[in-house]
Amino acid sequence: MATSKLSFEILTFIANLLSLNDKLNCITVCKAWQTPFQESLWRVICIRNKRRLETICNKSNKTQKNYEINGYRVRKLSLQTFLGTSDNQLHQLQQTFPYIEYLHMPEKCMSEEIGTTADWTIWRSLKCLEIYTTGLYFADNTDEFISILSYLPNLRRLDVLGEKDARKLLYRQKDFENLHSHLPRLDYLSMNSTLEALCTEDLVETPKIMPAKHLTVLKLCVDDMSPQWMYYFAHKYQNIRQLEFNINTELYMPNCFRDEATIMLFKLRSVFSHLRNVSLTGRSGTEWSQITFWELLGLSGVPIKYLNSTIEKLRLSSCISFNEPCRLPSIISLCLNLVDLDICSYDTHIAIDTLLDNCRFLTKLVMDTRTILLNPNTPATPLTHILESIEIRVAWTSRQIFSYLSSRCRKLKEMRLTGISIHGLVSHETGCYYLDMPYTRFELLQLNSVLFYSSEASILNDNLVNLFVIEQANPTQSTLTHESILFDNNLFPKGTNSKWFHMQPGPNRYFPEGIPYELQQNEVDQARQYFKSYHLVYGQPIYKRKLALYKPGQISSQYWKNDLWRGHATLRCEYIHRYFISIFGSRESIAQLKLHESS
C-alpha cells in the first residue's frame, strides 16, 4: 500500500510517536499527511513561562495569529506553576483553544483576581480538569466553584488540589449532590477538602439520593471522616473500584465514634461491593475512623462475600497501636480472599497464625510491625496454607515462628528478613539454637541486618549471638548461588550443606549495622570442633572471662573466635536455590534487592 493511502487513524497514531522535528518533516510529504500530522503537532500545548503566555494572549504579536488559526486543534493545555495568569489572559486562552479536553492548572498558575472575565462555557468539551484552588477567588466559596463546574458537563475526571494546611473548600452533602448533577459522566473524583457536619435532615434524605453510578475512583483528603459521611458515601458511590481516604485530623476520636457508626451503618445492605483497591492513611487520632471503615465493610445485611470476591491486594499503613495480637488480623478477616497483604504498623503485635487463619488465600505477605508471635491456643497441627512469599521488617520475633511457617506453609519459597531480631535459648549442650524449617525449599532467602539473641525476653548486647549458619538438609538437590555485593558470585558447591557467618560491627557510626563475614573452611572446622565440647566450656571460668571482656555486642571478625562462647544460630531448611545477604541497613538493602531483581 502506498504511504499516501494510509488511513487518517493510522497516520495519527504514527504522528503521536514522533518527535517535533519528524512531525514537521512529515507534514510536507504529501497532502494526505498534512492534516493528521498538523493535528498531532498542535495536540498538546504547555505554557511554561510568561513570555509564551504573553505571545499567545497578545493579539498584536505576529506569532499569535498562528495560535488563532490552529488553536482548534489543541486538546491538552498545561500551565506552569507560579505563572500568574490574569483573568483577561485566561479568557484569551479559552477563546484561542476552545476544544481542549484536558486542563492542568497547578499551584498559583492563576492570579487571585481571576473570575470576572473568564467564560467557562467555552470549555464545555473538557473531560479532565486538574485544578489547584488555594489562593483563587473561590478558594473558600464552594458554591462559586461548583457554579464553574456546572459549565463542564462532559467532565470525567476532576482533581481538586490545595495546600495541606491551608483553608480548604467546605463541602456539604448538597454540594456533592449538585456536583454530580452538573457532572453526570464523572468517573474519577479526587478532592482536598473539609467536610461539614451532616445534620439530621441530611441523614433522613441519604437513603433517597441518586447514586453516582459512573464514579469508579474516589480519593479524599479531608480533616475529618464522621460515620455520617461514611454512611452517605456508601449510598452515593456504590460502584467505586478504587477508594482512598487521607484523614488529617489531630483530634482524638473515642470509642463512642464506633458505637455511633455501628448503629447507623448496620442498616446498609451492602457496602462498596465492586471495590478492588483501598488505601487508608491519616495522622495519629484517626484510628477509630480507619477501624470503623473496616468494620463498616463487614456490617452488610448479607455476608461479606461480595467484598471478599473483589479485594485481593491490600497495603495497610497505620500509626494505630494494637496491643492485642489478634485484633488487627480480625479486622483484616473482612477481606478473606486477600492474595497480597502488606502491613506497616510499627507499634502493633500480630499473631501470625490468626492472620493466616483469616486470610486463607494469601500468597504474599509483608509485615513491618513491633512483634510477630503465635497465639498460645494455636493447634499443634494447623491446616496447611498456600503462602509462597513472606517478608518481615524491623520486628521482634522468636525462632518458633519459623518452624511454624515451615510446617504450615509447605509452598513457601521466598523469605526476606530485614532488620529483625530473633530470640531463642542456646542449648548448653551444643551451643546452638535452631530456626528449623524442615519442609521449606527456598527459591530465594534474603537476610539483611538480622540479629540473633540468646534470650526469650531481652535484646541486650549481652545476649547477642554473632555466629549464624545457613544449612540445607538436601544439598544434592540444587546448586546454591550466593548473590551479594559483599561476596561476588560466590557459589555454594553442590553437596555442601552449610555456610557459616560472623556478624561484625559496621565501620562507623553512620553505618552501624552488622556486616557478615563468611568463615573459611578451616575456620568452620575450628568452630565445629569448639561446639562439640561446648557443654564442657559453658559455665566455666573461661566463659565468665569472655563474657566480661566482650559483652558490648559485636567485635571485628578477625577476633571471631572470641564470640564462640556466645553460641551460634542455625537456619536449617530442606534446600535453598539462592540466598542474598546484604551489608546494608534496612532501607538500603531493600533498594539493593530491587536492583538485584530487575537485573
Q: Is the overall model pTM greater than 0.85, yes or no?
A: no
> Crossing angle for the helix pair 287-297 and 256-265, nearest 10 degrees?
30
Residue 243 to residue 178: CA distance in whole angstroms: 21
Give the model confidence (pLDDT) of 467-486 as tens digits: 999 998 876 554 444 444 34
Across 332-350, average pLDDT: 81
The 3-state secondary structure of 463-532 reads HEECEEEEEECCHHHCCEEECCCCCCCEEECCCCCEEEEEEECCCECCECCCEEEECCHHHHHHHHHHHH
Inform me whether the pLDDT recorded for 439 exceeds 90: yes
pLDDT value for 599 = 35
Q: 418-433, pLDDT tens digit by residue? A: 989 999 888 888 899 9
pLDDT digits (tens, 9 = 90+) for 77-95: 999 999 999 989 999 999 9
Q: Is the dihedral of CA 36, 41, 47, 50 positive or negative?
A: negative
CB 487 within 8 A of CB 475: no
Residue 594: predicted pLDDT? 37
Mean pLDDT of 501-528: 77
List the single range of 25-39, 136-150, 152-166 with lowest mean pLDDT: 25-39
Q: Which residue has the higher pLDDT, 380 or 436?
A: 436
3-state helix, strand, coil in the chain (%, to 5): 35, 25, 40
Positive or negative, the Cα torsion across 348, 350, 355, 358?
negative
Of residues 375 and 509, the one with the higher pLDDT is: 375
Fill in the amino acid letter for 230.
M
Q: What is the bridge-based pairing of β-strands 128-132 and 157-161?
A: parallel
- Reduce the DSSP state of residue 67 to 3 states and report it: helix
Distance spanning both ends of the chain, measured CA to CA: 42
The residues spanned by each domain of the chain are 3-40, 127-311, 424-599
The CATH number fitting domain 127-311, selected from 3.80.10, 3.40.50, 1.10.287, 1.10.1060: 3.80.10
Per-residue pLDDT at 527? 92
**Nearest partner of 139 among 77, 219, 193, judged by Cα:** 193
Answer yes or no: is pLDDT of 550 > 60: no
Q: What is the rounded average pLDDT of the residues 359-383?
A: 89
How far apart CA 459 and CA 462 sit, in angstroms, is 8
Determine the Cα–Cα distance for residues 213 and 184; give it in Å rounded to an integer. Answer: 9
Q: What is the mean pLDDT of residues 560-583?
A: 86
> 19-23, 54-58, 490-494: which has the minimum mean pLDDT?
490-494
Average pLDDT, the chain: 78
Q: What is the arithmetic mean of pLDDT over 21-34?
A: 62
User: Which pLDDT tens digit goes with each residue over 109-129?
Assistant: 988 776 678 899 999 999 999
Q: What is the pLDDT of residue 4?
A: 57
Which has more pLDDT, 166 or 255?
166
318 touches 345 (CB < 8 A): yes
Query: What mean pLDDT do residues 258-281 have?
Result: 67
The pLDDT value recorded for residue 585 is 43
228 touches 198 (CB < 8 A): yes
Residues 519, 521, 522, 526, Cα dihedral to 10°:
70
Residues in the chain: 599
Higher pLDDT, residue 506 or 414: 414
Whether residue 525 is predicted with pLDDT greater than 90 in this model: the reply is yes
Percent of the chain predicted with pLDDT > 70 = 69
Q: Is 250's pLDDT higher than 60?
A: no
- Identify the pLDDT of residue 116: 74
Q: Who has greater pLDDT, 161 or 295? A: 161
